[in-house]
């Protein structure tokens, strides 16, 4: 009798089940009316009187052990099945919700993609630059207002080192190491010492383009910008070029597009003119080509530049520039559909 009790106890130590049905089968095997442990109690009647106390204690301990082991198995399996029932198999394996690209990144990628299809390659450069690549190589006079402290961030210990105020410095670096033909698009962050407000910020993002080759004309520039405007804002978009001045281009122009909100009829967004300014452009000044080691008698070129925040405002009508840098998730979540 004691040997049989010990054998069943050893089985209890190794008890396991894969499902709740398996655990119930074990309960029936060991604890039901016809189970092994109740059968031991039936056999207890034939145990000699001098052994009844010892055997009785062993049987009660075995019954308690069996109940505890089987109940523990059932609880564990029930917890697993409940947890499994709550799993959404369509969810991402990551424990966090998916984010979205920043609206500036969305628009920058779209601009770069359009010009890439027009044959432009991507070029990038450092944000901490020297005066030569930002200003001198771009035909800025020594007394040009842009060099003043109110516009440019200078590194105090190195007056010749600055935070670039435009991405034209990337164009300068491309021209000094590469002979034409050159066709590049240069996106990046730029810095200017301005008061932060809804309409201005001390840092923002630009995209500038440069094309230098033989026999490049203003007509080539106009056609590229028209194609860009129609790709970005729709096939019915019209453009107009107004004379302007930039140190690094001659002649220079500012480009407007027909307001895509009112179709050029006039609204509050375009100040009832039907036109919205989006970029500056022009033919590369021969002095800029010569300063960067390119023969201006053989080659000509055009350049253009635009603020990405400006284009983003036109596409998504964001009223406050500060929203682009505040990382408010409520604002950023609105652009998930644009990714």
DSSP string, 259-307: -TTTTTS--TTTTTSSEEEEEEEEEEPHHHHHHTT--TTT-EEEEEEEE
Q: Which residue has the higher pLDDT, 127 or 30?
A: 127
Q: Any idea where the domains of the chain sit in the sequence?
A: 2-85, 103-338
Per-residue pLDDT of 53-101, as tens digits, reads 777 787 788 788 778 888 888 888 777 766 555 666 676 666 666 677 8
* Span 15-29, average pLDDT: 80
Q: What pTM did the predictor assign?
A: 0.68
User: Edge-to-edge, what's the strand order for the sheet holding 158-163?
Assistant: 128-130, 158-163, 153-155
Per-residue pLDDT of 262-305, as tens digits, reads 777 877 777 888 898 999 999 999 999 999 999 999 999 999 99
pLDDT of residue 196: 83
Whole-angstrom distance, CA of residue 248 vs CA of residue 266: 33
Residue 44 clears pLDDT 80, i.e. is over it: no
pLDDT of residue 35: 78
Distances (CA, A) of 237 to 82, 160, 229, 275: 58, 43, 7, 10
- Superfamily per CATH, domain 103-338: Bira Bifunctional Protein; Domain 2 (3.30.930.10)
Which range of 20-29, 34-43, 99-108 scores highest in mean pLDDT? It is 99-108
């Amino acid at each position: 009798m004691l040997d049989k009790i010990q054998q069943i106890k050893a089985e209890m130590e190794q008890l396991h089940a894969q499902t709740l049905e398996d655990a119930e089968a074990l309960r029936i095997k060991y604890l039901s009316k016809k189970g092994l442990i109740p059968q031991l109690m039936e056999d207890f009647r034939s145990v000699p009187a001098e052994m009844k106390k010892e055997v009785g204690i062993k049987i009660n301990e075995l019954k308690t052990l069996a109940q505890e082991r089987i109940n523990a198995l059932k609880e564990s399996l029930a917890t697993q099945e409940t947890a499994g029932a709550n799993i959404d198999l369509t969810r991402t394996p990551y424990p966090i919700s998916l984010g979205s690209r920043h609206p500036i990144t969305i628009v920058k990628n779209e601009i770069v993609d359009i010009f890439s299809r027009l044959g432009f390659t991507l070029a990038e450069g450092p944000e901490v630059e020297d005066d030569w690549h930002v200003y001198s190589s771009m035909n800025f006079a020594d007394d040009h207002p842009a060099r003043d402290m109110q516009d440019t961030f200078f590194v105090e210990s190195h007056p010749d080192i600055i935070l670039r105020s435009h991405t034209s410095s990337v164009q300068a670096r491309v021209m000094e190491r590469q002979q034409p033909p050159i066709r590049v698009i240069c996106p990046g962050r730029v810095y200017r010492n301005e008061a932060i407000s809804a309409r201005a910020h001390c840092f923002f993002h630009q995209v500038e383009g440069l094309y230098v080759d033989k026999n490049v004309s203003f007509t080539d520039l106009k056609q590229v910008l028209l194609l860009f405007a129609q790709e970005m804002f729709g096939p019915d978009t019209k453009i107009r070029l107004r004379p302007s001045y930039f140190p690094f281009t001659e002649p220079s122009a500012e480009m407007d597009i027909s307001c895509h909100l009112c179709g050029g009829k006039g609204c509050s967004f375009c100040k009832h003119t039907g036109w919205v300014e989006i970029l500056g452009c022009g033919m590369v000044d021969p002095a800029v080509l010569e300063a960067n080691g390119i023969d201006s008698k053989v080659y000509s070129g055009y350049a253009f530049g635009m603020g990405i925040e400006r284009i983003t405002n036109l596409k998504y009508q964001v009223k406050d520039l500060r929203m682009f840098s505040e990382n408010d998730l409520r604002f950023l979540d609105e652009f998930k559909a644009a990714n």
